[in-house]
Amino acid sequence: MTPTTSERSKAIARPLLAVESSGGALSTAIVMPDGVVRARMDEIMMRGHAERIVAMIAETLNAADLAARDLGAVASSVGPGSFTGIRVGLAAARGVGLAAGLPVIGIGSAAAVAYGAREQAAGRPILVLIDSRRADLFVQAFDADATSLGEAVALPPEDLRGFVEGLAGDGLYVTGDAVADHIDALTLPGVELAPSGPPSAVSVAMLALAALHAPEALPAAAPVYIRPPDAAVPAFGGRLKRLVR
């Protein structure tokens, strides 16, 4: 839904719920209009997001002593990351938004990582590497303020060193949950490596708050997959092929 000016003003004045499930963790947070984190939960998990997310949202609301009707907006990471995880987070966020009549804001997973790394980057551009759980990895570059310098792309590991060399310049801060698996390729002059975990719902919330205050349209809560999932629709729509006599 696209909020009207009055609905946007109402959203800005109320707490915001954020969910993040695009990687190897599940994260929820409630952030107040002034940016104070009222409640947060973070659980490392490679699987089981769908079974846990609804209860975790309820527990986070309870910890903040709030109900869904008290919120002004909901935010969810939209990827890139795990195909299933992205869908789980968006479905939960949309469910809360629909039930409570709230706008749902989509925040890029790599943008959330870059936002959380701003201070450590100390004025240098930031490169985020996300584990795709396949042969390649997702990469996206940001400036020192965590503003995107281009779209996220899927990159084969053998192309990573050349890609980073082209960005290093006078300094580059490289972070994300795929860094630890590619230390050798990333060890280059002027490059600081900072392996991290999956994105945080707090970072998702802070970016969503900024979007609410910006004059532009709210970022759509639409998934960013980069490439299709491994699963394919079976022939004949999954039905058994009728034998032809």
State the pLDDT confidence band at 231, using cuts at 50, 70 and 90. Answer: very low
State the pLDDT confidence band at 1, using cuts at 50, 70 and 90. Answer: low
What is the residue extent of each domain of the chain?
5-110+199-213, 113-195
For the chain, the average pLDDT equals: 90
* pLDDT at res. 10: 87
* pLDDT at res. 230: 46
Of 82-91, 99-108, 141-150, 221-230, where does mean pLDDT reach its minimum? 221-230
Share of the chain above pLDDT 70, in %: 92
181-206 core/surface letters (b: 16 or more CB in 10 A; e: else): ebeebbeeeebebebbebbbbbbbbb
Q: Of residues 244 and 232, which shows the higher confidence score? A: 232
- Quote the CA–CA distance of 74 and 103 in Å, as a whole number: 6
Q: How far apart are the first and last CA of the chain?
A: 53
* pLDDT at res. 7: 81
* pLDDT at res. 225: 87
Q: Of residues 10 and 103, which shows the higher confidence score? A: 103
Of 54-63, 73-82, 133-142, where does mean pLDDT reach its minimum? 133-142
Equal fold, 5-110+199-213 vs 113-195: yes
What tens digit of pLDDT does each residue of 65-123 get?
A: 999 999 999 999 999 999 999 999 999 999 999 999 999 999 999 999 999 999 999 99
State the pLDDT confidence band at 234, using cuts at 50, 70 and 90. Answer: very low
* pLDDT at res. 4: 79
Average pLDDT over residues 167-190: 92
Q: Please, what is the Cα angle at 26 between 177 and 19, to 5 degrees?
A: 105
State the pLDDT confidence band at 228, using cuts at 50, 70 and 90. Answer: low
- Quote the CA–CA distance of 7 and 90 in Å, as a whole number: 21
* pLDDT at res. 170: 79
Q: Of residues 198 and 237, which shows the higher confidence score? A: 198
Average pLDDT over residues 128-156: 93
Domain 5-110+199-213 indexed as CATH 3.30.420.40: yes
State the pLDDT confidence band at 245, using cuts at 50, 70 and 90. Answer: very low
Q: Which CATH class is domain 113-195?
A: alpha beta
* pLDDT at res. 238: 40
pTM for this model (two decimals): 0.89
What tens digit of pLDDT does each residue of 20-56 get?
A: 999 889 999 999 999 999 999 999 988 889 999 999 9
C-alpha separations of 48 from 25, 40, 42, 43, 155 in Å? 10, 19, 14, 11, 27
Sign (positive or negative) of CA dihedral 12, 103, 211, 54: positive
